[in-house]
Structure formats: structure tokens, C-alpha cells
Amino acid sequence: MTATHNEMANAIRFLAVDAVQAANSGHPGMPMGMADVATVLYTKFMKFDPRKTKWADRDRFVLSAGHGSMLMYALLYLSGVEDVTMDDLRNFRQMGAKTAGHPEYGHVDGVETTTGPLGQGITTAVGMALAEKMQAARYGKDIVDHYTYVIAGDGCLMEGISQEAISMAGHMKLGKLILMWDDNEICIDGNTNLTLSDDQCARFEASQWHTQKVDGHDPVAIEAALNAARKSDKPSLIACKTTIGYGAPTKAGTHDTHGAPLGADEIKGMREGLGWHSPAFEIPQNVLEAWRSAMARNSADRDAWEGRLNKLDAATKAEFVRTDAGTLPAGWEDTLNAFKKKMAEEPPKLATRQASGKVLEVLTASIPEMIGGSADLTGSVNTKTPSTASILNTDFSGRYLHYGVREHAMSAVMNGLALHGGFIPYSGTFAVFANYMMGGIRLSALMGKRVVYVLTHDSIGLGEDGPTHQPVETLAMLRSMPNFYTMRPCDIVETAECWATALKAEKTPTGMILTRQALTPLRTTHTDENLSAKGAYVLAEAEGGARKVTLMATGSEVEIAMAARATLQSEGVPTAVVSMPCWELFDQQDAAYRASVLGEGTVKVGVEAAMRFGWDQYIGSDGGFVGMTGFGASAPAPELYKHFGITAENVVAQAKARL
Amino acid sequence: MTATHNEMANAIRFLAVDAVQAANSGHPGMPMGMADVATVLYTKFMKFDPRKTKWADRDRFVLSAGHGSMLMYALLYLSGVEDVTMDDLRNFRQMGAKTAGHPEYGHVDGVETTTGPLGQGITTAVGMALAEKMQAARYGKDIVDHYTYVIAGDGCLMEGISQEAISMAGHMKLGKLILMWDDNEICIDGNTNLTLSDDQCARFEASQWHTQKVDGHDPVAIEAALNAARKSDKPSLIACKTTIGYGAPTKAGTHDTHGAPLGADEIKGMREGLGWHSPAFEIPQNVLEAWRSAMARNSADRDAWEGRLNKLDAATKAEFVRTDAGTLPAGWEDTLNAFKKKMAEEPPKLATRQASGKVLEVLTASIPEMIGGSADLTGSVNTKTPSTASILNTDFSGRYLHYGVREHAMSAVMNGLALHGGFIPYSGTFAVFANYMMGGIRLSALMGKRVVYVLTHDSIGLGEDGPTHQPVETLAMLRSMPNFYTMRPCDIVETAECWATALKAEKTPTGMILTRQALTPLRTTHTDENLSAKGAYVLAEAEGGARKVTLMATGSEVEIAMAARATLQSEGVPTAVVSMPCWELFDQQDAAYRASVLGEGTVKVGVEAAMRFGWDQYIGSDGGFVGMTGFGASAPAPELYKHFGITAENVVAQAKARL
């Protein structure tokens, strides 16, 4: 049985409209407008086997305009992805349904990334397209050769992050990245000409993109444009001129179709206008079969690909399978442990950013899938190692991305690298600029991806650059994020332990918070156990009697706590120092361990060159705290520590005042 | 006495180089490269009276590449701003010096905005240029007619926020905004071609800018370009081709000059090469006099302007002076109080976003300098009122900015409006997108500007849009920011009080955190006192005996606390409910008040549909908490509250478990 293009596209439209109506909530306008484009893409081009949604060499599809989630779910259902049933569509946006309000990675098969926050999808797709180029450089085009398609709306293109993504994609010549822009001239406040006068094609061309304009309701033109885009060796923009809410008799072309159900009357009129006679949530058999048979073409491709994979030599195949699965190579931890032992025995006085650089030398040598980078601060954040040659637009075999001064894109591109599979991304900027990439950091956490943010210059300890560059709130901000490990090691041994923990955290991103200034090594006795993996531990127990004071600190302030302990001990006060490199991990320990570390009933003082906010959970609201109470200042670091009173003397005084 | 252009420009170069050398820290390369451009700008064009740095109609100059702060300080010193002495330059980057590592607003005269975080300066300047157009539409070109000049580097242009700014400025036809780009082809990681292939002029032209390319070391060409830019009715980009570290004999043109002192030998060679015979921190008398006399041309202009101001009718002049000073109009608070009384007496059941809309109707009617806006969510965030007509690129007399989906720019543009003077900006987006503008929010706080962020859809209460749109960490993030008021009112009366408090906070920005869903009115007895201004207060005291339980809540959860109180009271447990709309204000109250509210010795339970992070300071680490422990989900709001256990029953259970 056959079906026309219009019938196949209308199937998307009515699934979207009826599901939004049933949910009494959602965004029908975009799926209605982009149904033709999506139908051509899926039925003619997408290399996607509905029965093997995780096929490594599949084309990636990213719905950057995530509010149009019913387009995604309709495509998955019509394609024949088993995980998406008609009942799931009926339950759109209901408790426990796979069909959440926005497409959520890990929630349903076939959704490649979580979208909704605008601009993230485009940028994550840049990461996926980069990963494709990088894997192809390693395994050849027989094994890795796929496209990354994106559908984006005006909102995505208005977000600044999209410019960072466009600029980076153009520079890197990501020829297999194809962006279909839903050019419907409508935004929520009205016509886009209320806020926008950009010539988008000219803008993309300025960043070295191939561009085309096409009638987004003409399947022949769409097919021709996709063919041309695929042939270009530049990333490609297809501006698809569409009518938002296409098919709605009175609301089409207006923002009334954007974010609300159409209403029963409008839907009735739409059925009449488009000649669609099936009730809600019923797809005519010929249409469904046409969809399923169109997608069936992929299974032979996939079989052929598996044949090619099996012809690789055993070691190469094993490496592809291992890195695609995200499994770390054998032996990496022993190597790191030997390094840790050496560092404990011959402790260097280093900034933790430098310590991290040394740890990364060891890790990147033994874990080839680690991909470094920085937002134009390579020399400052110590993320480049002898193993990580620069990735160039002429050579993707390298392992280091020069992200440029594009922090927000960096976060989302790392998400894309991690989502694509095959790579473990890490990269760095100054800690205060976590602010610039919080949108991407949040998605790392929400999706549960192993992405490591190297965040250096982590306090007033950076000195003269002053308050614009001195984080005081950043630690608290990151700690308030669910499923994110905020790690702040105190010396090179803890830094090695934190890196090991971050790499083993397969479903949690990590922020590695590191100093600019040199620190005194404190972990000078080797232990095979990863003490930092417990989040907090007793670095120095009280001596000469039962513990009376517990000093808790992180990172650069642990040595201040140790100095304070020396004074208190010398005055006969049994004092312990607790190093707390990762609160989130400490909170996961059992109550007995936590109590033993925190020293119930002892006087507690926290020390951290940051706001107190969040500390009371450990020190109590009556505990002492030595840290910051506002923004920093511009001066040499030692003077700033003195000026803001973050000194051993003050720690001692805070403890004594409570004894 | 006269001096040549080169002498005048070299004065900047040597001040920069010698100050960085003395500080042993800083960024000489940019001031050296842009000295010629800056000299032409200041000596030939800048309408800036060094003796009256706050002259309302002065040209604004923004050093978006804030790391080149010595350019700013050298310009201020050479121009003759009294607040900047040679001793201040000698003390560059030292404790307590006015000459901080990056230019800081409020720290020294003549610095119009704090810069350093890249891209913020450009965008803040867009706000200033908008304010100029808006003031000119109100008072005429006799009173308001100035340019806004920006110097930006490659880093600024790579940041996504710059695209939002460029797009907005082009759309709004800000013809008096002139951006001088330091096109030196150098970024920190090396040549910009490592990361960048953009045709910047084409990019700006795509956003409707006028563009020119010029040799940034040719004063005649620079002057001609500035003349042409000033004539254009579009915003103007001047791409200034420069050599970073111009004049350094071996390091010029390399990133070695970017962020480190040149070293004594290099500086010696530079003195020889440029024929500069004065020692460090000495400017030849003829050069200094040439600078001072060039700037002296402005005093006559300023006198003439004051004459024109004085010729305005008294009411118009008074309005200009009042709004420029940031003083609120007489009577606004009485009007608001009358509204508050009415709302207490006839309490409506509204979402607090709607309540805020109603409060804004009252406020914008009586405070004409309030300028609203939203990031393309006008209908959802309720920021537009009958008093605030849209500001169009054909008519700047309106009071509402359609920022587009450009949250980050929105924050920095609001900073620019507030810094320019004459306006009080507020605008809205969803609370979770505070993530997208944290860079600008941080600068509002650091600069201490009265900017109000309306952040709606503040919890799982937004329902079906799901976890991408449901903040759980945002409250904690904002509360961890110094000098920022995070306000979360529980009904329309508290919303009115919070708005009043935000408007009176002349040196602190505010986040107004509001619900999507309707709330039960709780403040149904009028009081003239602004209870919310204390940050937290006893909404319902315990009855039938001494207080045993204190339930603390904010926003939408206060009504849950009230329901729990009803149950506990009915079971004979004297229970108080504390509403805590603003923690930061509560923390400023005296200890006795705080203790009386928190109910020392009582069982404490916090209720907030967000992470517990930060709550322990009030409830103690042994206190009860009913809220979120991770990300939300997609479903109707009432089901989500039940699913995540944010119910009165759970609050009661938490209290009872501790009795």
C-alpha cells in the first residue's frame, strides 16, 4: 500500500494536534509547520533503524526547538520505534509518560539529547558532528560516516549560544551538519520583525556556512535542498519558509498555534481542510505502512555496517566497541595510582590547576578517548597535554579542541561529544565563567553525562584580576545543582583522586575547581584508597585526647585549617582537620561515616574562600566560618587573604570563641 | 605647547606598559595596540568633560575588553580626571587602589561600567545607546544627544552575548552606537585563525550594521572612519587592524604581550624604538598639556548644555533631574499602599506572576521611568502594562522592550539602561533561564544597580513543560550571589511589598521569583507596614500555648505550610508559620528579631519546592524539610506536588517526627 507525502506529513500534524489537545497543554504550531520537512528528512534521508536505535553509525537528529516535542514523538512512532506506542502519545505530558513535555534523553528511545532551553540543541549537534569527524579520522568512513540533522526555530537562532555554535561549526568545516531552520516569522510576542532584522543566511555565510532557502511545504524542493546540503563540504543551513500551525483553518500563521491546544472546533476544521478522516490517535493503515516501509530501508544498511565492523582487526574493533560503550581501558587506574604514590612520596608545591595538568598528562596517555579543550585559556587552565594534539579543521585525529572564547558552546559541545559516544570530554575556563555556561552545565547534569568542567582561578586567590574574575558564589551555585559533583581538591594527591572519581562517574558531570596559586602538599602518606571518593575525610585527627574542634575546609583553605590546627594542638586543644573535596559524594556516605568525620558534639569551623551559603549543613548555624561575605577585590593574593581575614589566626579565634 | 599624535598615543602606551611592569601583573598588549584609536577618539570626538564626569549628556565610553584597563586609566589621567592621579597609576592592581585589575564602576570616576567578563561591555553599551534614544524621545535633542563608543576585542566578539547585542542594536537602529573592534588577530591560545573563520564585517552587516575597515595605527584614517560612523543612521562597526603590543621590539604582534608584563629589557627597547625619553610614570609636559587642552574643548559644550537644560520649563527640567538622579516620584508608595489595602480586603486568587502584573499596572502608571520588557515571553511573565507601549525602532517614546529570545543580552542591556541614568529597568523570563543570564546578573550585583529580574514559572508548579523548565536549584544560586535580593512572595500583597522593596533598593538588584500557578491569598488583613521588607515575618503565630513548631516557607509553599499548621493546631500543637519572601533582607535584621521569628527551641520545618541547599541556616541540619531532592518531571502541577511529596501531610509528618 502506498500513501502520498501529504498523508504522511499530515499523520505528524494530527498526532501533534490531538496529543496537545488531549494533554490540554503543549506546542502544536511547530510540528504542524515542519511536518513536511521532517517527513522528507526521515523517509528519504535519515539513516536510522527503528529496531536498533543505538546503532553507532546512525544519523543523529536533534530537535533544537524542543517545545515541538510532539514532532519528535510522532516521528519515532511513525518510524516504528517500539519504545513509543500510541498509548505513549495519548499520555503526552502526563505523569510517568515517556512522552515528556520536552524531549528528554534517556527517557525514551530515539531522543538523542534533551532540548527545550533554546540554542542548546544546535550546539549539542555541533558536538555530535565533531565527534563524527573525530571518530571517522580514527576508524575510517567504512565505520563512521553519518550526518547530524537539526531542526531549529527563530528562538534558537536568537540565543547567543547559537552564534558560538555556528561560528565554531563553520570554522571546523563540519560538512555533515545540516540545520533546518523553521523560518515561520513568528515568535511568542508576535511577528519576528518586532525584535529581529537579521539576514540569517548572510549571518551563516559570514561564518562559512552553505545556505539555501526553500519552501518548507514543498517536498520536492526540500529533497533537492537536502541533497545539495549533503554534497557541500561546509555545514549547511536550509531556511525552510513555513506557516506555523499549517492546516489550522483560522489560526495558521499566528502565534496562537505556538504554545496552546488549538481547541476542538479548530481541529475539526483542520480535519476537513486537510481531508483527514481518522479519529484522534488513529493512523490509516496505508499511511503507517508507508512510514514503516520507508524506514525499513535502513536495516540492510545497518547489517552491512555490522559486516564492516566485524571485518576490522580484533583490537581495532574492540577499541571501537569499548569507547562507544563508555568503558574505560584496563589498567588506567593502576597507572594513576602509581602516580599518586609518587606524588605522596615526593610532594610538589603546585597550584591545583598545575596539579590537574600533571594528572591529565597521566590520564590522557592511558585513556585515548579523553578529549581536552579550553575556552581560549589553554595556558592558564592546564588542560593540554603531550598526548592531546590540537584538533584542526584539516585534521581531526587530534584530541584537543580550541573552543575559542565560547564558554556556553563549550559546555553544550561537550554534551554532544559525550552523547555521540566514543569520547570523554573535559575542558577548562576560569571558575567564575561557569556563569556563562550554566545552561549547558544544567543539561549535563539533567542528562547524566560524564563531562568534566575544569574551573580554575577559583577564589580571591587569583589576585589582581579582581572581583569580576573572583568567584565567591560559584561553589554554592554548582553545589545546588542536582547530579553534579563539585570537587575542590587541596593538593596533587587529592586532585588525582578527584579525577579518578570523575572518570568513574558515568552518569554525573563534574566540576574540577582549581586554584591559580601554589598550595602546600598535605597528602604526603600514600594510601591505595581513594579518600576523596568519600567526599570528605579526616585528613588529620585530633591528638592528645578526645577531639574538641573539627576544622572543615576545601581546596586552598585546607592548608590554612592545618596551620590553625597546629596552633590549637600546641595550646592543648585536640583538633581535627576534615578535607571536603566533594560535598555531594560525602552526602552519599552512610550516617555513621558522616558522623565520625563531622565529629558530633565538637566545635565546628568551616574555612573556604567563598560565601558561607550552604555550609551550615555541616557546621551548624552556630558554627564558625572563615570565608567571604561579599565580592573580592583587586590586589596580590596574599594581601587579599589577609584583607578578607581568611587566615589561620581567624580560624583559631573562631574555634576558641566556641570552646 | 603642542604634541604630535604619536606622542599623545605613546603616552598611553608607556603608562600601560610601566604600570603593568610595576604591578608585575596585567595586560599591556591591548592598550599598546589601541592607543592610536583611543587617542583620536578622546582628543577629537569624545564629549566628555574631565571636570564633570557625570554630565548627563556626555558621550559614554565602554572598554568592553576590560582586561586592557590601563587604557581606561591612562585615558582618564591624560584627560585630566582629578580622581585619577599618577599615584593611582603607580598603584595599579594594588590593595585599595582605584586602578583595579579590571575597570570597576563606582570605584573610580569616569568608568561607566564594570567590564572584564567578555561581551558584557558591548551589550551594556547597547543599553546605554537605547537609553539615549529613549531620553532623546522624551526631552529632545537639545538635552540628550550623545554617542556611545565601545572598544572590543576578538574575545568579546566570540562570546554569544555579543551576537544578541549586535542583533538587537541593528534591529533597533542605534545609529549613535559605534563599536571599535581591536582586530589584532591574536587570542590567548595563539592566532585567531586557530578557532575563528568569521567574516566579522559580513556578520555585522547581516544584522544591519554599518561597517568599515581601517588601519588602527593611522590617525587620519581613524578620524575619517569615526566621522563616517557618526553620520550613519545604523550602528557602526569600525574594524581597526592593529598590532597587539605595538611598539614592543620583539614581542609586538604576539600573544606574549597579552596578559603579562613585557619585562625591563623589552620596555627599554620600546623606549628606544618609539623615541620616548621619559622615565616611568612621567609624561612630558607638552604631551600632557596637549591632552588636557584637547579635552578642554568640552567645557564650553557642557556650559551650553546646562544653559539649554535651564531653559526647559520647570516641570520638565525637574523630571529630567529627578529621573537622572534615580529618585522615585512623590506619592508612588501611597498609591501602591492603597492598592495593597484593596487587595487585602478583596483578595484575588492569582498566580504571583499575575499578581506582579497587577502591581506593575499600578507602579508603571505612577513611575514613568520604569521600563519593562521580556525575552519573548510577554504573555507569560506579565510584564507589559497599559502604561508601557512597545519601544519600536521608529518610536522610542514607549516603555516596553521586546528583547527577543536573548536573555543574556537582556540582563546586560538592563544594566546599561540603569547605568545610563533616567530609567529603572525590569524585565522577565522563566526562572530557569536565570542560567542564561547569570553573567549579567552578577554584574548587576557587583555594580550595585537597581535592576529587577522578573523570573516566573518558578518550580515544578509550572507542570507539563517538565524538568528542562522547572528550576530546583535557581533559588539557591541566586541566594548565593552577594548583593542580590531573591524575593519569592506568596500572594498579591507580598508581591506588592516585594516590588516596593525592590524599587527602594537603589544599590541592589532584585530577582522577583513568581509562580505560574494560582495561589490562595494569605495576607487578608491590611497593614501599612511592609512586612516583606524585613525578609521574613510571622504570618500566623502559634495559638493555644507556647509555640512548639515553626513552619517556614516561601512563595507557593506558604499556603501548604498554612494547611499543615491548621492540622497541627487542630491536634493541639501550637504552630507558627513564617513567610520568608527574601532571605537576604531577613539576614540584615537584628538578632532579636531574627530569633523571635525563627522561634528558638521550636521544631523547625522548611517548605519550598526546590533543593534544600541553603535552608539549614534557618531550620538547622536536624530540621525537617519538604521540597525537592533532584530534577522535576513532566506532568500537571498538582500531580507533581503529590508525586514529589510537597504536601501539607508531609509537612505535618516532618514536624511530628521531631516533636
CB contacts, 8 Å: B435 with chain A:
117, 438-439, 442
Please determine, for residue B567, whether its predicted confidence score (pLDDT) is greater than 80: yes
Whether B471 has its CB under 8 Å from any CB of chain A: the answer is no
Residue A627 amino acid letter: G
Predicted complex ipTM exceeds 0.95: yes
Whether B199 has its CB under 8 Å from any CB of chain A: the answer is yes
- State the residue for C-alpha cell 540543541: A121
Provide the number of CB pairs (under 8 Å) joining chain A to chain B. 350
Rounded CA separation B433/B411 (Å): 11
**Which DSSP letter does residue A613 get?**
T
Alpha helices in A506-621 (DSSP H): 558-570, 583-587, 591-598, 616-619
Residue B603's closest CA among B557, B647, B542?
A: B542
CB contacts, 8 Å: B457 with chain A:
none
Task: Consult the annotation and say whether A258 binds a ligand.
Answer: yes
Residue A463's closest CA among A420, A502, A518, A417?
A: A518
> What HEC string does B488-524 produce?
CCCCHHHHHHHHHHHHHCCCCCEEEECCCCEECCCCC
Q: Convert the pLDDT of each residue in A315-331 to its tens digit.
A: 999 999 999 999 999 99
Neighbours of B199 (CB within 10 A): 15
Residue A211's closest CA among A244, A178, A171?
A: A178
Sequence-separated (6 or more) residues with CB below 8 Å from residue B279: none
Alpha helices in B332-469 (DSSP H): 332-345, 352-366, 378-381, 407-420, 438-447
CB contacts, 8 Å: B161 with chain A:
160
Rounded CA separation B252/B520 (Å): 67
B340 and B503 in contact (C-beta within 8 Å)? no
Please indicate whether, in this complex, the C-beta atoms of A95 and B639 are within 8 angstroms of each other: yes
Based on the number of CB atoms within 10 Å of its own CB, is A628 exposed (0-12), middle (13-18) or buried (19 or more)? buried
CB contacts, 8 Å: B200 with chain A:
206
**Which DSSP letter does residue A628 get?**
E
Which helix (H) or strand (E) segment holds residue A13: the answer is helix A5-23
Rounded CA separation A406/A376 (Å): 8
Q: What cell does B229 get?
A: 560612523
Q: Supply angle C-alpha B239, A163, B188, rounded to 5.
A: 60
Q: How far is B425 from chain A (nearest CA, A)?
A: 18
Pick from B94, B190, B203: CB nearest A203 = B203
Please determine, for residue B633, whether its predicted confidence score (pLDDT) is greater than 80: yes
Q: Convert the pLDDT of each residue in B395-411 to its tens digit.
A: 999 999 999 999 999 99
Task: Consult the annotation and say whether A516 binds a ligand.
Answer: yes
CB contacts, 8 Å: B438 with chain A:
435-436, 438, 477
Sequence-separated (6 or more) residues with CB below 8 Å from residue A167: A207, A404, A406, B158, B196, B197, B198
Pick from B161, B483, B611: CB nearest A160 = B161
By CA distance, what is B27's nearest residue in A?
A465
Q: So what's the pLDDT on residue B504?
A: 98
Residue A341's closest CA among A537, A525, A494?
A: A525
Q: What is the CA radius of gyration of chain A?
A: 27
Whether B118 has its CB under 8 Å from any CB of chain A: the answer is yes
Q: Convert the pLDDT of each residue in A473-518 to its tens digit.
A: 999 999 999 999 999 999 999 999 999 999 999 999 999 999 999 9
Q: How confident is the model at residue B1 (pLDDT cuts 50, 70, 90)?
A: low
Name B179's bridge partners. Answer: B150, B237
Write out residues 334-363 of B within 8 Å (CB-CB) of A.
none
B519 and B352 in contact (C-beta within 8 Å)? yes
Please indicate whether, in this complex, the C-beta atoms of A435 and B93 are within 8 angstroms of each other: no
CB contacts, 8 Å: B616 with chain A:
616-617, 620-621
Residue A335's closest CA among A302, A360, A303?
A: A360
Rounded CA separation B429/B457 (Å): 9
Q: Convert the pLDDT of each residue in B344-397 to its tens digit.
A: 999 999 999 999 999 999 999 999 999 999 999 999 999 999 999 999 999 999
Q: How far is A33 from chain B (nearest CA, A)?
A: 20
CB contacts, 8 Å: B25 with chain A:
463-464, 636
DSSP states along B536-584: -EEEE---SSS--EEEEE-GGGHHHHHHHHHHHHHTT--EEEEE-S-HH
Q: Convert the pLDDT of each residue in A590-620 to its tens digit.
A: 999 999 999 999 999 999 999 999 999 999 9
Q: Please report, for residues A427, A489, A551, B487, the alpha-carbon distance to residue A365 in angstroms, rounded to integers and kept in the order given.
A: 16, 22, 37, 50
Rounded CA separation B495/B340 (Å): 9
Percent of chain B with pLDDT over 90: 99
Please indicate whether, in this complex, the C-beta atoms of B480 and A613 are within 8 angstroms of each other: yes
Based on the number of CB atoms within 10 Å of its own CB, is A516 exposed (0-12), middle (13-18) or buried (19 or more)? buried
Whether A95 has its CB under 8 Å from any CB of chain B: the answer is yes
The three-class DSSP label of residue A212 is strand
Q: What cell does B268 get?
A: 627599554
Pick from B198, B442, B468: CB nearest A66 = B468
Q: Which of A7, A164, A407, A559 is catalytic?
A: A407
Average confidence (pLDDT) over A265-290:
97
- State the residue for C-alpha cell 530546583: B472
Delineate the domains of chain A, giving CATH numbers in brackets: 5-303 (3.40.50.970), 332-513 (3.40.50.970), 535-657 (3.40.50.920)
Residue A379 amino acid letter: G
Name B552's bridge partners. Answer: B578, B606
Q: How far is B409 from chain A (nearest CA, A)?
A: 8
- From first CA to last CA, the distance across chain B in angstroms is 85
Please indicate whether, in this complex, the C-beta atoms of A468 and B613 are within 8 angstroms of each other: no
A557 and A609 in contact (C-beta within 8 Å)? yes
Q: So what's the pLDDT on residue A315?
A: 97
Q: Convert the pLDDT of each residue in A613-635 to its tens digit.
A: 999 999 999 999 999 999 999 99
Q: Specify whether B407 is catalytic.
A: yes
Please indicate whether, in this complex, the C-beta atoms of A170 and B197 are within 8 angstroms of each other: yes
Task: Consult the annotation and say whether A547 binds a ligand.
Answer: no
Q: So what's the pLDDT on residue A166?
A: 98
Q: Which of B7, B104, B266, B407 is catalytic?
A: B407
Whether A20 has its CB under 8 Å from any CB of chain B: the answer is no
Q: So what's the pLDDT on residue A1?
A: 61
Q: Convert the pLDDT of each residue in B441-461 to its tens digit.
A: 999 999 999 999 999 999 999
Name B624's bridge partners. Answer: B605
Query: Where does residue B392 fall: left (phi above 0), alpha (psi -120 to 50 degrees), or beta otherwise?
Result: beta
Whether B593 has its CB under 8 Å from any CB of chain A: the answer is no
By CA distance, what is B636's nearest residue in A?
A94
Residue B463's closest CA among B643, B339, B277?
A: B643
Instruction: For an interface test with A, give the residue of B192, B469, B477, B594 to mutate (most A CBs within 10 A).
Output: B477
Please indicate whether, in this complex, the C-beta atoms of A187 and B405 are within 8 angstroms of each other: yes
Q: How confident is the model at residue A387 (pLDDT cuts 50, 70, 90)?
A: very high
Whether B467 has its CB under 8 Å from any CB of chain A: the answer is yes
Whether B177 has its CB under 8 Å from any CB of chain A: the answer is no
Please determine, for residue B419, whether its predicted confidence score (pLDDT) is greater than 90: yes
Sequence-separated (6 or more) residues with CB below 8 Å from residue B237: B179, B181, B200, B201, B204, B209, B210, B211, B212
Q: What cell does B138 get?
A: 522624551
Please determine, for residue A275, whether its predicted confidence score (pLDDT) is greater than 80: yes
The three-class DSSP label of residue B374 is strand
Please indicate whether, in this complex, the C-beta atoms of A379 and B188 are within 8 angstroms of each other: yes
Percent of chain A with pLDDT over 70: 100
Task: Consult the annotation and say whether B50 binds a ligand.
Answer: no
CB contacts, 8 Å: A67 with chain B:
465
Q: Please report, for residues A207, A284, A290, A293, the alpha-carbon distance to residue A1 in angstroms, rounded to integers and kept in the order given.
A: 45, 11, 7, 10
Whether B633 has its CB under 8 Å from any CB of chain A: the answer is yes
Q: So what's the pLDDT on residue B197?
A: 97
A66 and A439 in contact (C-beta within 8 Å)? no
Average confidence (pLDDT) over B116-143:
98
By CA distance, what is B160's nearest residue in A?
A160
A469 and B116 in contact (C-beta within 8 Å)? yes
B142 and B108 in contact (C-beta within 8 Å)? no
Please indicate whether, in this complex, the C-beta atoms of B467 and A481 are within 8 angstroms of each other: no
CB contacts, 8 Å: B634 with chain A:
93, 97, 100-102, 104
Rounded CA separation A580/B431 (Å): 31
- From first CA to last CA, the distance across chain A in angstroms is 85
